[in-house]
Amino acid sequence: MLLLIKILSQIAYPLLASLLLAIGAGLLLWRGRRRTGAWLLTIAIAWLWLWSTPVFGDWLRATLEQRYPAVSVDSLPTADAIVLLGGAVQPAAPPERPDPDLSAAADRVWHAARLYHAGKAPFILISGGKLPWSSADLPEAEAIADILRQLGVPDSALILETHSRTTRENRDDSLPILHAHGAHRILLVTSALHMPRAMALFSKSGLDLIPAATDFEIARPIDTHPLRWFPDAQALTDSTRAFKEYLGRSIVWLLD
């Protein structure tokens, strides 16, 4: 099921959707349907151009990040637990990758450590497993735990959930652990871009949620320099991540 969802998502993402439209346009042109083929090709190019534009990508990500603005650690209330969602670290895969690889979302790990050291909760529940196609031997939660130990968080304050592969599984697999520890009020730590989807899922758990968003990417005002209206590979990556979040929210609405 997970693989099927991933494949369907890839088809919906802007790059592959545009390529499929272009292939369809080529077939129409080959069959002599020039007018329809030309229109379809124009749509494919325009769609890919839009999603590859830095200004559009920044605006789209900002629509997600602004839903849960940054709150200083001192201003956040105390809770029963800190729940740290995975998606921030690639575990080591020796010999090619001897050490964990911190992604751009690794701010989550640092933020969880800051919350713990500020006395905001007695323990951190790390939720993150191992994708079937991952080259790593260990689940992500174990790699994150190693980093948190180096940031001064003691073993006694770390609880690992090592089976989840999606945000929905983060929630479902974390709930029994939280209940077993009598934790009802939690500080939910994830990237600002991911927080709306995470909150939508965890809000169905009956927990008292306190969003502790981090890893903010967009600064205001958005830079609208003329060069930022031209296609850029990184912009396509960034806007696709925002598309993924909106697609995920739609799936939450349909399935949960």
Token digits of residue 196:
């709306």
In order of 13, 178, 210, the CA distances from 65 in angstroms are 20, 27, 16
In this structure, how many other beta carbons lie within 10 angstroms of the beta carbon of residue 96? 7
Domains and CATH numbers, the chain: 2-65+232-255 (no CATH), 73-214 (3.40.50.620)
pLDDT band for 249, please (50, 70, 90 cuts): confident
Residue 71 clears pLDDT 90, i.e. is over it: yes
How many Å is the Cα radius of gyration of the chain?
Answer: 21
pLDDT band for 220, please (50, 70, 90 cuts): confident
Residue 203 clears pLDDT 90, i.e. is over it: yes
